[in-house]
Amino acid sequence: MDSLNLSKFCIRLGDHCLIMAHRQSELCSNGPFLEEDIAQINLGLDLLGQAEALLIYAAKLEGGSRSADDLAFRRSERQFHNFMLTEQPNTDFAFVIVRQYIMSLYLLKTYQVLSKVEDETLSGIALKALKELTYHERHFSMWINRLGDGTAESKLRIQTAVDELWMFVGELYEEDALDLTAQKALYAPKGEEMKAFLMEQITAKFTEATLSVPESVYMTTGSKQGIHTEYLGFLLTEMQYLQRAYPDAKW
Amino acid sequence: MSEVKDTQGQLWEVFIQTKKGLPFKHFGSVHAFDKEMAIQNARDLYTRRGEGKGMWVVPADAIVAVDPNNDASFFEPADDKIYRHPTFYELPDGTKNM
Amino acid sequence: MGAEELDVLFQERIDANDKIEPRDSMPEEYRKHLIRQMSQHAHSEVIGMQPEGNWITRAPSLRAKKILLAKVQDEAGHGLYLYSATETLGISREELIEKLHQGKAKYASIFNYPALTWADMGAIGWLVDGAAITNQVSLQRTSYGPYARAMVKICKEESFHQRQGYEIMASMANGTAEQKEMAQDALNRFWWPSLMMFGPHDSDSPRTGNAMKWKIKREFNDVLRKRFIDKTVSQAELIGLTIPDKDLKWNEENNSYDFGQIDWDEFWSVVKGGGPCNVKRLKHHKKAHQEGEWVRKAAAAYAQKHSSK
């Protein structure tokens, strides 16, 4: 893949990780017990590390004057390309688990493919991330079981989360021109392959956890063109505040 | 199923082998609701997922302990737990969870 | 053997610098004192996650965000080590949390002050963690084994926290005029509360007697406070910030700094619940606990259902 396309590709992936990490970090001191607080921060740190590595590489590939921090803190809402799923709020613990579980599967598959590419920087990032994501998937899948097959209340809450978040899953296996370019270069799996992988994993896990997979639902779309839900604006306002308020300062 | 109590899980003791060939050492304890969670929690707390580290997690009340320094006449086979007073404080029924 | 004889034997062990372990014979007062001190130390780590966590989502760079997250994760870990050590004395985590919520157990008063600007992340790391280190290095030699071991582990991880804080202050003091002003303002607000972390004058502290006798505490409050000040003043001077104490003066004869009067009214008021954030900190902790109830119950229910595995 040429540098420009590769940088856009890295920005997309970096954005997913960055926004996921940000949502994860909001859980700090809000966990259901201390061990889980630590676990969630740990996972957030992994994602932040991946985001940083990807955005640093993207900035380098661009060859311009933007740094990774510029990408994270100076782009506007319409310039972010994270999946809408990642920006959904931490409504309750069930929403966190479902959102992060599904995204973990996506990242797992994505990094599996990327770990084999020619580009050494990217395959290096992917290999390290793969070890981390294996752990993430295990952690979230463990909670899917416990919430789905726990109490009546937990089942209701997690099924609600699944039902409400399902409309955002379609974006994870959508294809646009950049995706097709990446697929051709063997940097990404085909949309059909990603969809099959996600559905297979999710169906098996949800069945085990006595949860139901929603029937065909309207799937939202647009993040690849910078169209987001109303949540992203607020998230960025908070995240970017200091850099925007003190544009000449170095932190 | 009986009414589920709100607890912080059970106490598990954590033993870690920092390098192959070395003995397992007691590192401390974690709370968890089952052994899968106990392993994950112990890993997050004591190893930050360092690779190649062997780990055992054991329910604290499964451990039998003796202290050779105590006078033999004070050794009570029924009182062989590693910590004092193994029955933990129980909140009375109806206590509003704070 | 009578209680009096046991107490004598216990004191002999303490005087000989023996380490006391969980099942060792010990005076009930010793055990109670330790439960109170260790659990309050644990609660402090956990409550401390709140003011620091206040700026995670607004950290101004990817690196700053990573470092702050790692630091707060450490604090949580330290809380866990300390809860673990406290539980060896025959009290459960449930009961410790209950006591915190009922106001029967306290936590370090410093965390009742708000983290108002990004510079506070610097001030907290540099001063609050700095003061904690001074105290914790001393506690590594405490008489109770599990507490001492927890302190050794914590001290290893703590120096990164202070460096992180100082680095923030240094870079801001060296940055734009607004950044420098922000850093000085944070120092102005956190200096005296950090000195208060060492507690009252030993003469005004009713528990100091037993604490020193039983070697739970190894050094006096005023000694530790002085040590902290002497270490820190030059650090401030190095980065061009001014310590907000007009009576701060180097005393050549004593080879240490003379310093001004601590506002003991403020100290006792905050300890008793009258600080800016006392209500908020506890409310936050209770809320997280309450909202987590259904999750904990789900995990317990699942474990019950699958207990044969």
Q: pLDDT digit string (tens) for A114-157? A: 999 999 999 999 999 999 999 999 999 999 999 999 999 999 99
Measured between CA atoms, the residue of chain C closest to residue A92 is: C291
Are A193 and A182 spatial neighbours (Cβ–Cβ below 8 Å)? no
Cβ separation of C46 and A34 shorter than 8 Å? yes
List, in order, residues 6 or more apart from A102 with CB less than 8 Å away: A85, A165, A169, A172, A198, A202
Within 10 angstroms of residue B49's Cβ, the number of other Cβ atoms is 14
Contact A153/C at CB under 8 A: yes
Closest CA to B55 of B81, B87, B32, B85: B32
Closest CA to A70 of A6, A5, A1, A7: A7
Closest CA to C48 of C98, C95, C109: C109
pLDDT for residue B22 is more than 50 = yes
Quote the pLDDT of residue B50. 57
User: What band does B79 get if pLDDT is binned at 50, 70 and 90?
Assistant: low
Residue A34, phi then psi, degrees to nearest 5 = -60, -40
pTM of the model: 0.93
Quote the pLDDT of residue B45. 86
Closest CA to A244 of A76, A74, A80: A74
For the segment C89-143, what is each residue's pLDDT rounded down to a tens digit? Answer: 999 999 999 999 999 999 999 999 999 999 999 999 999 999 999 999 999 999 9
Q: Averaged over B23-32, what is the pLDDT?
A: 92
Contact A38/B at CB under 8 A: yes
Are A111 and A131 spatial neighbours (Cβ–Cβ below 8 Å)? no
User: What band does B86 get if pLDDT is binned at 50, 70 and 90?
Assistant: very low
Of A33, A36, A135, the CB nearest to B49: A135
CA distance C295 to chain A (A): 7
**Mean pLDDT per 10-residue section of chain C, whose length is 309 residues:** 88 95 92 96 97 96 95 94 94 96 95 97 97 94 96 88 94 97 98 97 90 94 96 95 97 96 95 94 97 98 85
Element holding A6 (H helix, E strand): helix A3-25
Quote the pLDDT of residue B44. 86
Residue C256's DSSP bridge partners are C251
Q: Which two tokens stand for residue C218?
A: 């190894």
Is the pLDDT higher at C251 or at B98?
C251
**Partners of residue C97 in chain B, C-beta under 8 Å:** 8, 98
Contacting partners of chain A (3+ CB pairs under 8 A): B, C
User: What band does B52 get if pLDDT is binned at 50, 70 and 90?
Assistant: low
CA distance A45 to chain B (A): 11
Interface of B with C (CB under 8 A): 1, 4-9, 11, 28-31, 33-34, 37, 45, 65, 67, 70, 82-85, 88-89, 91, 97-98
**Partners of residue A34 in chain C, C-beta under 8 Å:** 46, 76, 79-80, 83
User: What band does A167 get if pLDDT is binned at 50, 70 and 90?
Assistant: very high
Quote the pLDDT of residue B73. 47
Of B1, B37, B65, the CB nearest to C304: B1
Is the pLDDT higher at B88 or at A201?
A201
Quote the pLDDT of residue B70. 57
Evaluate the CA torsion angle A200, A205, A209, A214 in order and state its sign: negative
Quote the pLDDT of residue B2. 58
pLDDT for residue B89 is more than 70 = no
For the segment A97-119, what is each residue's pLDDT rounded down to a tens digit? Answer: 999 999 999 999 999 999 999 99
CA distance B67 to chain A (A): 31
Arithmetic mean of pLDDT over chain B:
74
Of B1, B65, B98, the CB nearest to C286: B98
Where do runs of H (alpha helix) occur along A26-170? 34-62, 68-74, 84-87, 93-114, 120-148, 152-165
Cβ separation of B4 and C90 shorter than 8 Å? no
pLDDT for residue B78 is more than 70 = no
In this structure, chain A runs to a length of 251
Contacting partners of chain C (3+ CB pairs under 8 A): A, B
Q: Averaged over A205-229, what is the pLDDT?
A: 95
> What is d(CA A104, CA C67) in angstroms, rounded to the nearest whole number?
23
Within 10 angstroms of residue B6's Cβ, the number of other Cβ atoms is 16
Percent of chain A with pLDDT over 90: 99
User: What band does B93 get if pLDDT is binned at 50, 70 and 90?
Assistant: very low
Quote the pLDDT of residue C277. 96
CA distance A79 to chain C (A): 18
**Partners of residue C290 in chain B, C-beta under 8 Å:** 97-98
| Chain pair A-C, CB pairs under 8 angstroms | 129
| Chain pair A-B, CB pairs under 8 angstroms | 29
Closest CA to A107 of A80, A137, A81: A137
CA distance B44 to chain C (A): 9
Contacting partners of chain B (3+ CB pairs under 8 A): A, C
Strands B25-32 and B54-59: unpaired
**Partners of residue C90 in chain B, C-beta under 8 Å:** 83-85
Q: Averaged over A28-39, what is the pLDDT?
A: 96
User: What band does A67 get if pLDDT is binned at 50, 70 and 90?
Assistant: very high
Q: What angle in degrees, to the nearest 10, is found between the helix axes of A191-208 and A93-114?
A: 140
Percent of chain A with pLDDT over 70: 100
Quote the pLDDT of residue B53. 77
Of C23, C293, C296, the CB nearest to B84: C23
pLDDT for residue B87 is more than 70 = no
Cα torsion for A60, A66, A71, A77, to the nearest 10°? -130
CA distance B41 to chain A (A): 6
Contact B49/A at CB under 8 A: yes
Quote the pLDDT of residue B92. 37
